[in-house]
């Protein structure tokens, strides 16, 4: 026993020394103690009783309000059974919420009576479990509220209700009987509610009187509740309805048929009448819109349907039909003649009698008719080769006359050049050409085409076509040895150069293919021997070989070094596509081997130091490397 006591003393001294030597531990303990004192101070400052007990219902803490309520000092309550202090009707029964909170691990509230030194009072208490850091329930905590004034307030309100039912509307509650502000406010609120009954009824009577005299007041904006609010809403709805009907009548008068009429009941004849007026006007609007759409679409024979309306509304539709007839008859005749003109029939003109704007339209249609007749005569002469044809301007603004004259001039120039070329060909002057720049558009193309035809020689072109065809099929012919002159000799030289270039390209391609088969991967073609796109082809093949062989050489070097235990730095050069994937795989391999070497060194060092429980983390490795470490 002495040895164990000595050990405890030694442990205590060690702990105290460690705390002194470790400011962090000392500060943490000091902070924890300070926080606990703060919590106790806060609980003591609460005006409602708070107590906590252990699982055996022994009081572990009670605040000042709780100690004052039970008539004891707080220290005298510690260790006492809670039921010996509070003495409620629930104590030591199945109704005890503290026992329930500890057993069921929950918060529970209930009402009961407590027998305290100051007398019996009604209380509402809430019990909750206390849980330590390990999650175990070690007791419970309880808060208590005095509900005596709450019961008084209920009784006071009950008396007011009974008085109101009995018609004693001057009965009021006494808020001075209550200390708690909330209950005092409740009684005051009931008194104010009773006071508020008479005012709304007087307002309602005044509004009904004004409405009955046609004096529509502003809507009631005061706030009411319950039935008074319903009365207010009904009066406001009545005001809205009358104002809406007046507004609807005004809108209809202004032509706004989108206004909505609220028919309040079957007996609301005024609203029904307004709805009927809007319906008829909307139907009339639809009918007129239908006629408008038909006229826009050229359906000029469409007419309104007066049989769908009654009285003055039917007369409106009939008058519109008569107006359409008067307007559209001359237009229909003009359309008929224009339709004939459109079909190339110029045998008829507009002959009916017209007045005003209709007469202007008639003159315009007949003017088009006469001008087209003159145009036909003009074009007929030109079509028959009579270039003496003439036509007068239809007006100073005539935009067609200038081009008709230009047409005749261009045709005359074309005829002149054709005669000149024909005469030169007959005379054997084959170098004679027309000047195509003197012509425009397709006329220029005609003259240029004749010139191009004279420039061509069939023989040399056939030879050139044959050589090009053979080259395109991979059949490289012998070079042309025949003699040509001028442009044809240049064509021959170009074809021979093409043959040389293709042959050189084939030779270099065969050379590179043979070198690749023999493993001579540094062999390249000399792109400088080629021209144009052929040089691009050879250079592209060389560049392709460089881009393929370079990364493969790097990969081979890295694999060789790794196989010899010489772990290189990771590849930092940029590659694309599959070469980038090879680079990434090599870098991953380097990382994996380096990690394996690191763990192996760590384990070896630990073994040397006798740290035999040291292990590598196999989860950091992948595949067979993980198996090696594991």
- Confidence category of residue 108, pLDDT binned at 50, 70, 90: very high
Q: How large a percentage of the chain has pLDDT more than 70? A: 90
User: CA-to-CA distance for 152 and 179, rounded, in angstroms?
Assistant: 11
**pLDDT higher than 50, residue 539:** yes
* Segment among 69-78, 372-381, 445-454 with least mean pLDDT: 445-454
- Confidence category of residue 4, pLDDT binned at 50, 70, 90: very low
pLDDT: which is higher, 302 or 71 = 71
User: CA-to-CA distance for 372 and 366, rounded, in angstroms?
Assistant: 10
How buried is residue 630: exposed, middle or buried, by Cβ count under 10 Å (0-12/13-18/19+)?
exposed
Rounded mean pLDDT of 462-469?
Answer: 76
pLDDT for position 59: 94
**pLDDT higher than 80, residue 9:** no
**pLDDT higher than 80, residue 326:** no
Locus of tokens 């005359």: 412
User: CA-to-CA distance for 147 and 188, rounded, in angstroms?
Assistant: 19
Rounded mean pLDDT of 296-305?
Answer: 82
CB 505 within 8 A of CB 538: yes
Rounded mean pLDDT of 94-102?
Answer: 94
User: CA-to-CA distance for 63 and 209, rounded, in angstroms?
Assistant: 66
**pLDDT higher than 70, residue 41:** yes
CB 128 within 8 A of CB 140: yes
pLDDT for position 20: 55
User: CA-to-CA distance for 87 and 108, rounded, in angstroms?
Assistant: 19
**CB-hemisphere CA count at 13 Å for 609?**
9
DSSP state of 548: H
User: CA-to-CA distance for 201 and 231, rounded, in angstroms?
Assistant: 9
119-131 β-sheet, strand order: 59-62, 50-54, 137-146, 119-131, 108-116
Question: In degrees, to the nearest 5, what angle opens at C-alpha 543 toward C-alphas 542 and 546?
Answer: 90
pLDDT for position 61: 94
- Confidence category of residue 54, pLDDT binned at 50, 70, 90: very high
**pLDDT higher than 80, residue 24:** no
CB 308 within 8 A of CB 287: yes
pLDDT for position 1: 42
User: CA-to-CA distance for 123 and 145, rounded, in angstroms?
Assistant: 5
**pLDDT higher than 80, residue 220:** yes
- Residue pLDDT, tens place only, 237-273: 887 777 777 777 777 778 777 777 777 777 777 777 7
**pLDDT higher than 90, residue 98:** yes
Residue-averaged pLDDT of the chain: 81
**pLDDT higher than 70, residue 431:** no
At 88, is the secondary structure helix, strand, or coil? strand
434 C-beta neighbours (distance < 10 Å), count: 22
User: CA-to-CA distance for 184 and 462, rounded, in angstroms?
Assistant: 121
* Segment among 319-328, 428-437, 470-479 with least mean pLDDT: 428-437
DSSP string computed for 118-174: TEEEEEEEEEEEEE-TTS-EEEEEEEEEE-HHHHHHHHHHHHHHHHHHTT-TT----
How buried is residue 161: exposed, middle or buried, by Cβ count under 10 Å (0-12/13-18/19+)?
exposed
The most confident of the ranges 166-180, 192-206, 303-317, 616-630 is: 303-317
pLDDT for position 85: 92
Rounded mean pLDDT of 55-70?
Answer: 93
With left for phi above 0 and alpha for psi between -120 and 50, is residue 523 left, alpha or beta? beta
User: CA-to-CA distance for 392 and 114, rounded, in angstroms?
Assistant: 126
Locus of tokens 């209920």: 154
Query: Which residues are bridge partners to 610 per DSSP?
Result: none
- Confidence category of residue 459, pLDDT binned at 50, 70, 90: low
pLDDT for position 118: 86
Six token digits for residue 189: 């609120």
- Confidence category of residue 8, pLDDT binned at 50, 70, 90: very low
Query: Which residues are bridge partners to 66 per DSSP?
Result: none
Helix (H) or strand (E) segment spanning residue 111:
strand 108-116
**pLDDT higher than 70, residue 416:** yes
- Residue pLDDT, tens place only, 66-95: 899 899 999 999 999 999 998 999 999 999
Distant-in-sequence, close-in-space partners of 347: CB < 8 Å, separation ≥ 6: 340
- Residue pLDDT, tens place only, 139-182: 999 999 888 888 888 888 888 888 878 867 678 888 888 887 88
Q: How large a percentage of the chain has pLDDT more than 90? A: 13
pLDDT for position 202: 66
Rounded mean pLDDT of 492-514?
Answer: 84
CB 501 within 8 A of CB 538: no
pLDDT for position 167: 67
Overall pTM > 0.75: no
**pLDDT higher than 80, residue 460:** no
- Confidence category of residue 27, pLDDT binned at 50, 70, 90: low
Q: For the chain, what are the domain ranges?
A: 42-145, 303-392, 402-475, 490-557, 567-629
Helix (H) or strand (E) segment spanning residue 59:
strand 59-62
Helix (H) or strand (E) segment spanning residue 278:
helix 269-296
Q: Which fold has domain 42-145?
A: Beta-Lactamase (3.30.450)
Rounded mean pLDDT of 350-373?
Answer: 82
**pLDDT higher than 80, residue 336:** yes
DSSP state of 58: B
Q: How many helices (H) and strands (E) does the chain have?
A: 20, 5
């Amino acid at each position: 026993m002495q040895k164990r006591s000595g050990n405890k003393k030694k442990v205590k001294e060690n702990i105290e020394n460690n705390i002194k030597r470790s400011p962090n531990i000392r500060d943490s303990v000091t902070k924890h103690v300070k926080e606990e004192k703060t919590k106790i101070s806060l609980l003591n400052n609460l005006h409602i009783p708070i107590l906590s007990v252990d699982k055996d219902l022994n009081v572990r803490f009670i605040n000042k309000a709780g100690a004052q309520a039970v008539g004891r000092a707080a220290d005298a309550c510690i260790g006492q059974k809670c039921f010996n202090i509070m003495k409620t009707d629930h104590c030591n029964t199945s109704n005890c919420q503290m026992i329930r909170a500890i057993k069921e691990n929950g918060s529970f509230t209930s009402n009961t009576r407590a027998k305290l030194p100051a007398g019996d009072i009604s209380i509402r208490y809430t019990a909750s479990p206390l849980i330590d850091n390990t999650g175990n329930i070690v007791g419970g905590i309880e808060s208590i509220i005095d509900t005596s004034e709450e019961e008084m307030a209920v009784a006071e309100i009950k008396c007011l209700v009974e008085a109101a039912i009995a018609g004693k509307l001057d009965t009021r509650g006494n808020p001075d009987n209550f200390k708690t502000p909330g209950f005092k406010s409740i009684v005051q609120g009931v008194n104010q509610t009773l006071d508020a009954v008479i005012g709304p009824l007087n307002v309602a009577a005044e509004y009904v009187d004004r409405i009955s005299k046609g004096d529509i007041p502003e809507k009631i904006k005061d706030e009411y509740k319950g039935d008074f609010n319903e009365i207010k809403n009904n009066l406001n709805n009545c005001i809205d309805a009358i104002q809406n009907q007046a507004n609807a009548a005004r809108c209809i008068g202004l032509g706004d048929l989108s206004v909505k009429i609220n028919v309040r009941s079957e007996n609301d004849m005024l609203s029904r009448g307004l709805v009927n007026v809007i319906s008829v006007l909307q139907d009339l609007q639809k009918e007129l819109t239908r006629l408008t759409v038909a006229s826009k679409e050229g359906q000029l024979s469409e007419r309104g349907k007066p049989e769908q309306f009654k009285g003055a509304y039917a007369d409106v539709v009939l008058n519109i039909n008569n107006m359409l007839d008067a307007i559209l008859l001359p237009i229909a005749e003009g359309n008929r003649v224009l339709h004939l003109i459109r079909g190339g029939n110029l045998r008829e003109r507009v002959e009916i009698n017209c007045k005003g704007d209709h007469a202007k339209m008639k003159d315009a249609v007949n003017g088009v008719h006469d001008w087209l007749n003159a145009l036909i005569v003009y074009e007929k002469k030109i079509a028959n080769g009579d270039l003496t044809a003439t036509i007068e301007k239809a007006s100073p603004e005539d935009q067609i006359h200038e081009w008709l004259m230009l047409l005749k001039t261009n045709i005359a120039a074309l005829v002149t050049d054709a005669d000149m070329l024909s005469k030169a060909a007959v005379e054997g002057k084959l170098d004679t050409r027309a000047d195509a720049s003197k012509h425009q558009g397709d006329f220029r193309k005609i003259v240029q085409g004749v010139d191009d035809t004279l420039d061509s020689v069939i023989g040399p072109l056939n030879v050139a076509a044959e050589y090009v065809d053979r080259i395109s099929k991979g059949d490289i012919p012998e070079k042309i040895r025949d003699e040509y002159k001028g442009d044809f000799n240049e064509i021959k030289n170009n074809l021979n150069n093409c043959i040389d270039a293709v042959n050189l390209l084939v030779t270099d391609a065969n050379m590179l293919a043979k070198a690749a088969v023999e493993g001579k991967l540094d062999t390249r073609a000399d792109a400088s021997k080629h021209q144009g796109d052929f040089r691009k082809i050879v250079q592209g093949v060389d560049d392709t070989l460089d881009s393929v062989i370079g990364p493969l050489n790097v990969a081979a070097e890295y694999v060789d070094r790794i196989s010899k235990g010489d772990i290189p730095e990771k590849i930092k050069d940029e590659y694309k596509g599959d070469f980038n994937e090879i680079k990434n795989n090599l870098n991953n391999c380097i990382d994996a081997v380096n990690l394996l070497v690191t763990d192996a060194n760590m384990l070896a060092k630990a073994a040397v130091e006798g740290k035999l429980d040291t292990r590598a983390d196999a989860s950091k490795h992948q595949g067979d490397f993980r198996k090696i470490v594991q």
